[in-house]
Amino acid sequence: MPVNAIGAEQLSGIEEESDIYEAFAPHVDTSNISVLTDTPPGKKPNLKSFQDVQSLIQQGKKREAKIVLRENSWPTNSPIRSQLWPALCAQHHVGKTMLDGFYWDMVNQVFGTTELPEKPIMLPPFVDSTHCLPYHLTRKGRAVADRVVSVLGYACPDITYSPTLYPITSILLHFMSEEECYHCMASLVAPKEKVFITQTKLLYEVTWKTVMQIAKKHAKSAVNYLSTMCNGQKPESIFMDWCWWILGGLPFPHLVRVMDCFFHEGIKVFYRVSLAILILFHKHVTSSNSEWDTDAIKNDIDNALPKFCKNIPVSPAKLLRTAFSIRALSSTYISRVFLKTEMLLKSKSVLSGPKQMVRSRSSDNLPTSQSQINVQMMSHTLTIREVFGAYCSSRWFERNLKDDRGQRQAYFGTGETFLFSLYPERAKYPWVGIEGDTGLGHASELFMAADSKMITIGGGEGQAIWMDENIRFGKTDRCQTFNNPPLCASGDFEIRVLEVYGFVGA
């Protein structure tokens, strides 16, 4: 079980452009970005500063911050977002704070260099190539977005399907540096309490079905109208693309204002905005002076809403006011619909799925032979600082076995267990009792242990390898079981790659 770890003191920063920009980052083409303001000409808007919002966040006043973000129509080119968006995303970070240089160390591991590659980067399999939206990024900006998404896929192998991850990365890069963008995205994919970005095909399906369900109640007239336009067919296909009404349809100034709220409140902002789009669409196309033709809508119903969004006839402020004025649409209600939909889909997949066990889909993110050219992810090609591990002689299932008194044994395993280090030096640390020594004491037989909070190998005055419940952070000490030195110089480490090999039928 080799662990590729990096000592905290060995991470170093890499020079990059400032994280605070006058408006947009250097990798943005500003020539086609329109700047809309929602205030009358000549009247200067009384907008809150970043310090105002930051103060509310630091004081834990999330509701007050939410109202400020909803009501303050900062122009598209306002410099506030280079500070505001990272601060909003950082609220949701889970685990230890990433050290300076963390991202660039990951880039080095994946690509072997921090230089942007000249050839296109092969994106992770969870990306939907039809929705790699660059917005106003330059060619270099697109390459930067590709790299951020690739490193994120490398760091988060459990992501199996996430079509919105790339466009959200692109949006962030309009206002910040590459490293800052990665930190923001890492914060958005980590939370368990609040959903920002769905990461499996199942949850993506749950979102559009959730939107459809809440729309039937809170945008009922619009849903009924769309149903009549579908020539008797169910409107499911329309809702399947719900998030692209926002991410792919809205003009950039509208989208940026939506993201101001999204980075604070999560995916429920997208739900509300999608309902607002439905309500505004229905109101507009059924008005007496509408330029929309009923037959044209019927003949191209799947593109009706995206087309409406591209030329949406209201300001960003009016869009958000419509979204947040929908009554009785509480977060609790949305969560209840989401959970019910998720449970229903999971139960259907269990009932209709194959009866035999299937392999984990997490392996789908491992590189193919072609991708090794661009993404050096296989263990023998990694650019690495620390590699160590252990041969475990017993099955980890034995952690659940009980002794004669009916109690679970804290430690299990046999003397065939040993530790090893591959880099920076090769070494093997066998069990101290391998030569048949007697009288070594109980501490010499603490081979393996695990529970819901940790995994550990070796014990007695320290643990040779200890990993937390998320297999993200760990530590290594000298232990009496193997009489080993710490397996990395710093003692504490962050896990980059965990490889597990099993022997079947041996």
* Per-residue pLDDT reduced to its tens digit, 259-276: 999 999 999 999 999 999
Q: Are residues 74 and 186 in the same domain?
A: yes
Query: Three-state SS for 71?
Result: helix
Kindly tell me if the per-residue pLDDT of 474 is higher than 50: yes
**Which among 409, 392, 481, 411 has a CA at the least distance from the CA of 440?**
481
Q: Is 213 exposed, middle or buried (0-12, 13-18, 19+ CB in 10 A)?
A: middle
Task: State pLDDT tens for residues 406-430.
Answer: 666 678 888 889 999 887 778 899 9
Q: Are residues 411 and 313 in the same domain?
A: no
What was the pLDDT predicted at 40? 58
Task: State pLDDT tens for residues 44-80.
Answer: 668 999 999 999 999 999 999 999 999 999 999 999 9
The answer to whether residues 465 and 457 touch, using CB atoms and an 8 Å cutoff, is yes
Task: State pLDDT tens for residues 67-126.
Answer: 999 999 999 999 999 999 999 999 998 877 777 788 999 999 889 999 998 888 999 999
Last residue of a domain, one of 165, 190, 215: 190
What was the pLDDT predicted at 3? 52
Q: Are residues 76 and 145 in the same domain?
A: yes
Q: Are residues 402 and 291 in the same domain?
A: no
Q: Are residues 212 and 158 in the same domain?
A: no
Query: Average of pLDDT values for 437-457?
Result: 81
Residue 386: φ, ψ to 5° = -140, 125
Choice among 20-29, 182-191, 479-488 with the minimum mean pLDDT = 20-29
Give domain status of residue 36, yes or no: no
How many CB atoms neighbour CB 112 within 10 A?
A: 14
Q: Are residues 118 and 221 in the same domain?
A: no
Last residue of a domain, one of 309, 335, 361: 335
Query: Three-state SS for 388?
Result: strand
Q: What share of the chain is helix, strand, coil (3-state, %, to 5)?
A: 45, 10, 45
Higher pLDDT, 76 or 356: 76
- 4: part of which helix (H) or strand (E)? strand 3-7
- Taking the CA atoms of residue 252, residue 191, residue 194 and residue 126 in that order, the dihedral angle to the nearest 10 degrees is 50
The pair of structure tokens assigned to 64 is 């007050």
Render 315-379 in DSSP notation, one character per residue.
-HHHHHHHHHT-TT--HHHHHHHHHHHHHHHHHHHHHHS-SS----GGGGGSPPTTGGGT---SG
Query: Average of pLDDT values for 354-368?
Result: 39
Q: What is the pTM of this model?
A: 0.68
Higher pLDDT, 460 or 82: 82
Q: Are residues 409 and 481 in the same domain?
A: yes
Give domain status of residue 44, yes or no: no
Give domain status of residue 152, yes or no: yes
Question: Domain range for residue 428?
Answer: 387-494
Q: What percent of the chain has pLDDT over 70?
A: 83
Choice among 232-236, 366-370, 416-420, 490-494 with the minimum mean pLDDT = 366-370
Higher pLDDT, 205 or 503: 205
Tell me the pLDDT band of 472, cut-offs 50, 70 and 90: confident
What was the pLDDT predicted at 499? 80
Is the backbone peptide bond immediately before 424 cis, with ω within 30 degrees of 0? yes
Last residue of a domain, one of 335, 357, 375: 335
Q: Are residues 74 and 155 in the same domain?
A: yes
Q: Please list, residue by residue across 115-153, b when 16 or more beta carbons sit within 10 angstroms of its beta carbon and e when fewer do.
A: eeeeeebbbbebbeeebbbbbbbeeebbbbbbbbbbbbb
What was the pLDDT predicted at 350? 57
Residue that is written with structure tokens 């591959």 in the block: 422
Query: Average of pLDDT values for 357-375?
Result: 36
Give domain status of residue 69, yes or no: yes
Kindly tell me if the per-residue pLDDT of 365 is higher than 70: no
Query: Average of pLDDT values for 142-150?
Result: 96
Kindly tell me if the per-residue pLDDT of 197 is higher than 90: yes
What was the pLDDT predicted at 423? 74
Domain total of the chain: 3
Q: Are residues 181 and 209 in the same domain?
A: no
What's the rounded Cα separation, in Å, for the pair 195 and 294? 37
The order of strands in the sheet holding 427-429 is: 427-429, 418-423, 386-391, 3-7, 492-498, 473-475, 465-468, 454-457, 448-450
Give domain status of residue 356, yes or no: no
Kindly tell me if the per-residue pLDDT of 220 is higher than 50: yes
Query: Three-state SS for 391?
Result: strand
Q: Are residues 220 and 329 in the same domain?
A: yes
What's the rounded Cα separation, in Å, for the pair 203 and 160? 11
Residue that is written with structure tokens 């991708």 in the block: 371
Q: Are residues 174 and 117 in the same domain?
A: yes
Task: State pLDDT tens for residues 11-54.
Answer: 333 334 434 456 899 999 999 888 766 665 556 668 999 999 99
Give domain status of residue 416, yes or no: yes
The answer to whether residues 493 and 7 touch, using CB atoms and an 8 Å cutoff, is yes
Cα atoms in the 13 Å half-sphere on the side-chain side of 220: 2
- 7: part of which helix (H) or strand (E)? strand 3-7
Residue that is written with structure tokens 């929705």 in the block: 131
Tell me the pLDDT band of 440, cut-offs 50, 70 and 90: confident
Query: Average of pLDDT values for 238-245?
Result: 95
What was the pLDDT predicted at 376? 37
Give domain status of residue 76, yes or no: yes
Give domain status of residue 504, yes or no: no
In one letter, which amino acid is 302? Answer: D
Q: Are residues 209 and 132 in the same domain?
A: no
